[in-house]
Amino acid sequence: MTTKADYTEEEWGQLLQAPLTTGMMIIVADLHVTSMMGEMKGLFKGMMEQPAPEGAQELVGSLLEDIKAKAESKEKIEPPETSKEDPEQVKAKMLEQLSSTAALVDEKCSEAEAAGYKQWLMGVAEATAEAGKEGGFLGVGAVRVSDKEKAAMEQISKALGL
């Protein structure tokens, strides 16, 4: 099992940023003001409350401890930049970051730990997507997970090598 000590500061920062990148990928995939706040809550709830998959409990637990410590000290984990570029470029950059993170855990972790970490990230994506409703009119005909969000989850899964 890997711990924070097994990573450089930059690598650890990459692992910390990956769940935010995952959630933001879902949010920007089908951006609606009405669902964005719920999806942000879903992102943080998915990150903090879902159980770590078997094999990755120690790594995910260490990441969550660090995330909580940063939150308590009001230290920010920078989310991916999403406002200054074309949305497609932003998505491509996020997928590249996730692919790089997947390569990092594949290199440093056991197969089971890497798979568990990636499954945890997919859980964050699912929690984010399911937290808001898209489409419809005044809620009628809205869906929990839109086709664009489903496509984003497929892209995330592919970037993570799942």
- With bands split at pLDDT 50, 70 and 90, how would you rate the model's confidence at 39? confident
In a domain, 44, yes or no: yes
CA distances from 83 to 24, 34, 41, 80, 86 (A): 12, 18, 20, 9, 8
Banded pLDDT at 136 (limits 50, 70, 90): low
* CB 159 within 8 Å of CB 149: no
CB-based contact 159:118 (threshold 8 Å): no
Residue 98 or 52, more confident: 98
Q: How does the average pLDDT of the chain come out, rounded?
A: 85
Residue 3 placed within a domain? no
Q: Is residue 55 part of a domain?
A: yes
d(CA 94, CA 100): 10
**In the prediction, which pLDDT does 1 show?**
82
Q: Say how many domains are in the chain.
A: 1
Residue 1 lies in a domain: no
Residue 38 lies in a domain: yes
pLDDT at 33: 63
Cβ contact 160:95 at 8 Å: no
Q: Are the C-beta atoms of 98 and 160 separated by less than 8 Å?
A: yes
User: Sorting pLDDT into bands at 50, 70 and 90, what band is 161?
Assistant: very high
Q: Containing domain of residue 13, as a range?
A: 8-160
Q: Tell me how long the chain is.
A: 162
Mean pLDDT over residues 84-106, rounded?
88
Ranges 88-102, 122-136, 137-151: which has the least confidence? 137-151
In a domain, 2, yes or no: no
